[in-house]
Amino acid sequence: MTVTSSVEAARAGFRTAFGREPAGVWSAPGRVNLIGEHTDYNEGFVLPFAIDRRTYVALAAREDRTARVASAGDFDDREIDLGGITAATMSGWSAYPFGTAWGLGRVGADLDRVGGFDAYFTSDVPLGAGLSSSAALECSLAVALDETWRLDLGRDRLVRATNLAENQIVGAPTGILDQSASLLAAPDAVLFLDCRDGTHELVALGLEEEGLTVLVIDTRVTHAHADGGYASRREACERGARTLGVRALRDLEADDLARAQQLLDEETFRRVRHIVTENRRVLETVATLRRRGPRAIGELLLASHASMRDDFEISVPELDRAVESAMAAGAVGARMTGGGFGGSAIALVERAGVDAVTEQVLAAFARAGHEEPEIFAVQPSAGARREQE
Ligand code: ADP
Ligand code: MG
């Protein structure tokens, strides 16, 4: 969908849901992480960019304290008193937007004074594909409410508010990567983010000049972040840091790995090794992009994938197939992206080779008997914003 038609769809949906005109339309993008996986909650480095798939929210303020939310597709309409948002009162998709309103209260907004809102969402970010539809949803609403309620909180506090929403109201123990990318990204750039102190810097990606494109290969294998594998990886990292006497795995260097191997059980050691080497790869990717451009980062992407597959064990056969078949078809580099256990891989490919890579990946999936993946190109895009009407 074009931006104009998405903005129109959001306005039209709002009219149908709430029987009046919205005050405006805001949007926030999904993201892919170029490199740096599971490093965020270890206070390390990540390197995401926003994609040209966005969640749009049409919104208008209310005089009372009621918040009402509706979303295009298979989502039921929900409403709540703004004073009554707790993890216990939330269920389903509306925990994300209601949690966001609550989160704004936690970082400085006075929710007793702002009044309520009606919000209608429409999105072309695929859900649960590892492209962070959840952050796109939260961040679109955060910028809409920040402006509508005249909070002027600033982007860094909006990152905190939306991340608190996901951690404490939704109950997904995720780091600040997703919300930072959605709120802070810029066209043609990656966001180099230090998850220890939230400092960030945009680094030119330069895909256009080099004739390169990023393909997303959505395996359509679904993941469930809030439970299982993600939580157990996080626990392993915390255990590793505790045993080694550091605040977070960020504080370990390659030199510390020998000691880590002596002190940790074999599995925990591999989890720790992934984080230590992945942090190093993010720094090397930034340096390589600056010195030599995007064509030179292929090996780093591949090494990252191998580490997630073998050490962190968060890949699945479909993601491995995506990476291997893209490389066999001539990709510059490829890796799974996002939390793992399904979701998407990315491949850095020549613009002229997009069709060949797409066809060969589809063929490899068909031969293996996997469900057909969805493959599409993404452009590094702008962060959350108000849309012009
Ligand atoms: P991801 O963020 O990788 O897409 P998550 O599991 O973190 O996956 O978030 C997906 C969930 O976010 C959905 O199950 C739904 O509850 C909520 N969500 C995301 N986008 C929308 C939307 N446009 N409308 C309603 N709910 C949404
Ligand atoms: Mg998410």
* 133-190 pLDDT tens trace: 999 999 999 999 999 999 999 999 999 999 999 999 999 878 899 999 999 999 999 9
* Tokens 């590793």, located at residue: 240
Number of C-beta neighbours around residue 204 at 10 A? 15
Any idea which ligand is nearest the CA of 73?
A: 1
- Which of 124, 127, 227 most suits a substitution to test ligand 1, by most atoms within 8 Å of the C-beta? 127
My answer on whether 172 and 237 are in the same domain is: no
My answer on whether 190 and 228 are in the same domain is: no
My answer on whether 214 and 165 are in the same domain is: no
Residue 383 included in any domain = no
pLDDT of 222 reads 79
Which pair of tokens denotes residue 276? 């230590």
Residue 24 included in any domain = yes
Q: Among this protein's residues, is 178 annotated catalytic?
A: yes
pLDDT of 224 reads 59
Query: Does the CB atom of residue 130 touch ligand 1 within 6 A?
Result: yes
Asked if 350 and 154 count as a contact pair (C-beta separation under 8 A), the reply is no
Residue 306 included in any domain = yes
Residue 92 included in any domain = yes
Domain hosting residue 49, numbered range: 3-203
Q: What is the CATH number of the domain that holds 87?
A: 3.30.230.10
My answer on whether 193 and 209 are in the same domain is: no
Residue 305 included in any domain = yes
Query: Does the CB atom of residue 223 touch ligand 1 within 6 A?
Result: no
Any idea which ligand is nearest the CA of 121?
A: 1
Number of C-beta neighbours around residue 206 at 10 A? 16
For the chain, residues with pLDDT lower than 70 are 1, 223-227, 389
Q: For residue 130, how far is its CA from the centre of ligand 1 (angstroms)? A: 10
My answer on whether 188 and 212 are in the same domain is: no
Buried b / exposed e along 153-170 (16+ C-beta atoms within 10 A): bebbbbbbbbbbbbbbbb
Which of the listed residues 203, 229, 256 is the one where a domain comes to its end?
203
pLDDT of 71 reads 98
Number of domains comprising the chain: 2
My answer on whether 22 and 88 are in the same domain is: yes
Residue 211 included in any domain = yes
Helical pair 133-148 and 155-164, crossing angle rounded to 10 deg: 130
3-state secondary structure of 166: helix
Query: Does the CB atom of residue 75 touch ligand 1 within 6 A?
Result: yes
Cα–Cα distance for residue pair 10/30, rounded to 1 Å = 17
Classify residue 329 by its DSSP letter: T
Which pair of tokens denotes residue 33? 């992480």
Classify residue 380 by its DSSP letter: -
pLDDT of 128 reads 79
Q: For residue 207, how far is its CA from the centre of ligand 1 (angstroms)? A: 29
Select which of 40, 146, 178, 311 is catalytic.
178
Q: Is 227 exposed, middle or buried (0-12, 13-18, 19+ CB in 10 A)?
A: exposed
Closest-CA residue, ligand 1 atom 11, reads: 134
My answer on whether 367 and 261 are in the same domain is: yes
Helical pair 95-106 and 133-148, crossing angle rounded to 10 deg: 50
Closest CA to 293 of 373, 207, 231: 207
For the chain, the first-to-last Cα distance in angstroms comes to 16
Q: Which atom number of ligand 1 is nearest to the Cα of residue 121?
A: 23
3-state secondary structure of 283: helix
Q: Which atom number of ligand 1 is nearest to the Cα of residue 172?
A: 7
Which pair of tokens denotes residue 43? 């206070």
Q: For residue 110, how far is its CA from the centre of ligand 2 (angstroms)? A: 27
Asked if 44 and 157 count as a contact pair (C-beta separation under 8 A), the reply is no
- Which of 96, 177, 223 most suits a substitution to test ligand 1, by most atoms within 8 Å of the C-beta? 96
pLDDT of 175 reads 83
Q: For residue 58, how far is its CA from the centre of ligand 1 (angstroms)? A: 17
Asked if 2 and 305 count as a contact pair (C-beta separation under 8 A), the reply is no
φ/ψ of 123, rounded to 5, equals -145, 145
My answer on whether 123 and 242 are in the same domain is: no
Query: Does the CB atom of residue 170 touch ligand 1 within 6 A?
Result: no
Q: For residue 175, how far is its CA from the centre of ligand 2 (angstroms)? A: 10
Helical pair 155-164 and 95-106, crossing angle rounded to 10 deg: 130
My answer on whether 258 and 112 are in the same domain is: no
* Close Cβ partners of 201 (under 8 Å, ≥ 6 residues apart): 191, 192
* Close Cβ partners of 294 (under 8 Å, ≥ 6 residues apart): 205, 206, 207, 210, 212, 332, 348
Q: Which atom number of ligand 1 is nearest to the Cα of residue 226?
A: 6
Q: For residue 19, how far is its CA from the centre of ligand 2 (angstroms)? A: 31
Cα–Cα distance for residue pair 45/35, rounded to 1 Å = 9
Asked if 316 and 219 count as a contact pair (C-beta separation under 8 A), the reply is yes
pLDDT of 227 reads 62
Query: Does the CB atom of residue 121 touch ligand 1 within 6 A?
Result: yes
Residue 288 included in any domain = yes
Query: Does the CB atom of residue 182 touch ligand 1 within 6 A?
Result: no
Residue 147 included in any domain = yes
Which of the listed residues 143, 173, 203 is the one where a domain comes to its end?
203
Closest CA to 143 of 135, 52, 167: 135
3-state secondary structure of 87: helix
pLDDT of 223 reads 64
pTM for this model (two decimals) = 0.93
Cα–Cα distance for residue pair 277/39, rounded to 1 Å = 10
Which of the listed residues 167, 184, 203 is the one where a domain comes to its end?
203
My answer on whether 94 and 220 are in the same domain is: no
My answer on whether 196 and 231 are in the same domain is: no
Closest-CA residue, ligand 1 atom 15, reads: 93
My answer on whether 179 and 233 are in the same domain is: no
Q: Distances in Å between the alpha carbon of 321 and those of 317, 318, 324?
A: 6, 5, 5
Q: For residue 123, how far is its CA from the centre of ligand 1 (angstroms)? A: 10
Closest-CA residue, ligand 1 atom 20, reads: 133
Closest-CA residue, ligand 1 atom 24, reads: 71
